[in-house]
Amino acid sequence: MNELLMIMLAAVLTENIIFTKLLGVYPFLAVSEKPTAVLGVSVSLIFTMTFSSAAAWLVYNYILVPFELEYLKITVFILIIAFVVWFIELVIKTYSEELHQKLGVFLPLITANCAVMGALLISTGREYDFITAVVYGVFSAAGFILAAVILTAVRERIKFSDPPEFFKGIPVTLVAAGLLVMAFSGFLGIEII
């Protein structure tokens, strides 16, 4: 249990998928512009990473490894992520049209989010067991959400500042994101795992 807690903390802080692995930067920058967008991506990402982690572990350990097809894992993981996103979209559309309208834009964005692929590759590379792989996927999503919420708050504050004209928009956002990366890199000195 202690090891699982350390993996949870590592996935959120010391090995944050955005700030230390630099995976999923485009969706991170794209959704951090509006707080409602962060909420939509957060819900989608938690479900996608949870189900993708579970499915990827099962397929990798029960199909790819026994048949010595490990070299196909990236292709298979892409298919798993696409299927999971399609399935989640189908379920949401079936049971809540209103929620589907709110999340509709964000679900396809999750398919192209390399943070999901990164979490799957990291958990298989470390040979996590099923529970640990799923927990790592969930808390990697939580780390992504934490990063997006922090940058969203910073961007809200930037709206009320007065940077030079050439610095407005993306340049000041990239500087803010860089400062956040530097702040989170302080966690790298903490040995959790």
Q: Per-residue DSSP letters for 101-169?
A: HHHTTHHHHHHT-HHHHHHHHHHHHTT--HHHHHHHHHHHHHHHHHHHHHHHHHHHHHHTS---GGGTT
pTM score of the predicted model: 0.89
Residues 119-150: pLDDT tens digits?
A: 999 999 999 999 999 999 999 999 999 999 99
What's the chain's length in residues? Answer: 193
- What is the average pLDDT score of the chain? 88
State the average pLDDT over residues 175-185: 89
Cα dihedral 48, 51, 52, 58, rounded to 10, equals 180
Q: What does the domain layout of the chain look like in residue ranges?
A: 8-187
- Predicted pLDDT of residue 193: 53
Residue 60 pLDDT > 60: yes
